[in-house]
Amino acid sequence: MPSLSALTSGQRYLFYKNAPDSDPTTFRANFIDIIGTTLRISKYCENNVNTNSRMVTMPTFWITNVETLDEITRKQMLLLPEDILLMIDEYV
């Protein structure tokens, strides 16, 4: 897991979020930056629905884990290029 301070602006990540008063969830978004303790992201997508294409902000302490597409695909035994393309389609 890359630390939040090591994320690259413009890169798409899978974020694990545990906000108060809600169930833990995951979402995909493009990292913008961190200002103080506020995470700024764009192209926020939860449950395969593009819920917000504009900038979204949230406290950094809500984020429990972050993964890149490379890390996700390394965890799975993908045998065919088609499998990788399907996973990319889900990730983007």
- Contact between residue 91 and residue 69 where contact means Cβ atoms under 8 Å apart: yes
pLDDT of residue 5: 82
Q: Domain with 86 in it: what CATH number?
A: 2.30.30.100
Total domains present in the chain:
1
- Contact between residue 8 and residue 70 where contact means Cβ atoms under 8 Å apart: no
pLDDT of residue 86: 66
At 16-62, the pLDDT tens digits run: 999 998 899 989 899 999 999 999 999 888 876 667 778 999 999 99
0.95 cut: is pTM over it?
Answer: no
- Contact between residue 66 and residue 7 where contact means Cβ atoms under 8 Å apart: yes
pLDDT band at residue 82, thresholds of 50, 70 and 90?
Answer: low
- Contact between residue 18 and residue 75 where contact means Cβ atoms under 8 Å apart: no
Residue ranges making up the domain that contains 9:
4-91
CA dist 8 and 5 (Å) reads: 9
Q: Which residue has the higher pLDDT, 53 or 90?
A: 53
